[in-house]
Amino acid sequence: MDIAIAGGTGVVGAHVSRIAQQRGHAVRTLSRSNGVDVRSGVGLEGALRGADAVIDVLNITTLNEKQATKFFRTTTAALLAAEDRAGVAHHIALSIVGVDRAPHGYYGGKLAQENEISAGAVPWTVLRATQFHEFASQMYARTSLGPVHPVVRMRTQPVAVTEVATRLVELAEGSAQGRSRDLAGPREEDLADMMRAWARHAGRGGWMPRIPMPGEFGRAMRDGLLLPGPDAQRGSETFAQWLSAQPEG
């Protein structure tokens, strides 16, 4: 197959790209660093000509709901319109478990993305996954106040990014199925424990106190609204197994 990967240079996109090539597919990567700006449409038309499927793993780093909603609506609408014109048969997108139970901040943008896709003309599949194991190091970097790294109270069931990427390619190989089964990691973890374990492993210091995040989203994180339901598919790699394979600091 010929698969276009929007955001194919990102954390999950790079794995999707590698795995798709290993499985014998022709791959094109849509990212600004490769001359395609999905948001403005620059380079998009030509980039999709002849593609059988598009996997959308674009991202914007923001917690602001307006910004996230604008980004995901604009990029999804641009992709779907270009796919329609190019005759692309299948649009696959990665979303997050719990976006409908906690549609706030960034998650509000992801829900808007899902709504745009389901209202569109291109046959689609949406995979919701839980946080990646990398979430621990991302939160460590993003929450730095000097040596203090406050950790929001969060129940999470993180999954290996390679397992998510493999699932996305499998979905692209099949026909459109609408919402597919959610994908989560094998066990629940506590975000503060994950961050401390990652910091020890990577040779990073700092004090990582647990803090409650105010507001509805904070409550959703604490109360487990972002955890998978009983029907979710479970990946096999635990956070501890993933961590032990990472370079030590």
Q: Which of residues 220-239 bind ligand NAP (CB under 6 A)?
A: none
Q: Does 11 bind ligand NAP (CB under 6 A)?
A: yes
Per-residue binding string, ligand NAP, 99-128, x by CB under 6 A, is -----------x------------------
- What is the closest distance, in whole angstroms, from the C-beta atom of residue 147 to ligand NAP in the complex? 25
Per-residue binding string, ligand NAP, 26-65, x by CB under 6 A, is ----xxxx--xxxx-----------------xxx-x----
Q: Which of 82, 103, 111, 132 binds ligand NAP (CB under 6 A)?
A: 132
Q: Which of 86, 94, 111, 171 binds ligand NAP (CB under 6 A)?
A: 94
- What is the closest distance, in whole angstroms, from the C-beta atom of residue 146 to ligand NAP in the complex? 25
- What is the total count of residues that contact ligand NAP (CB under 6 A)? 25
Instruction: State the residue number with the nearest CB to ligand NAP.
Output: 10
The 3-class SS string of the chain reads CEEEEECCCCHHHHHHHHHHHHCCCEEEEECHHHCCECCCCECHHHHHCCCCEEEECCCCCCCCHHHHHHHHHHHHHHHHHHHHHHCCCEEEEEEECCCCCCCCCHHHHHHHHHHHHHHCCCCEEEEEECCECCHHHHHHHHCCECCECCEECCEECCECHHHHHHHHHHHHHCCCCEECCCEECCCCEEHHHHHHHHHHHCCCCCECCEECCCHHHHHHHHHCCCCCCCCCEECCCCHHHHHHCCCCC
Q: Does 16 bind ligand NAP (CB under 6 A)?
A: no
Residues that bind ligand NAP (CB under 6 A): 7, 9-13, 30-33, 36-39, 57-59, 61, 94, 96, 110, 129, 131-132, 135
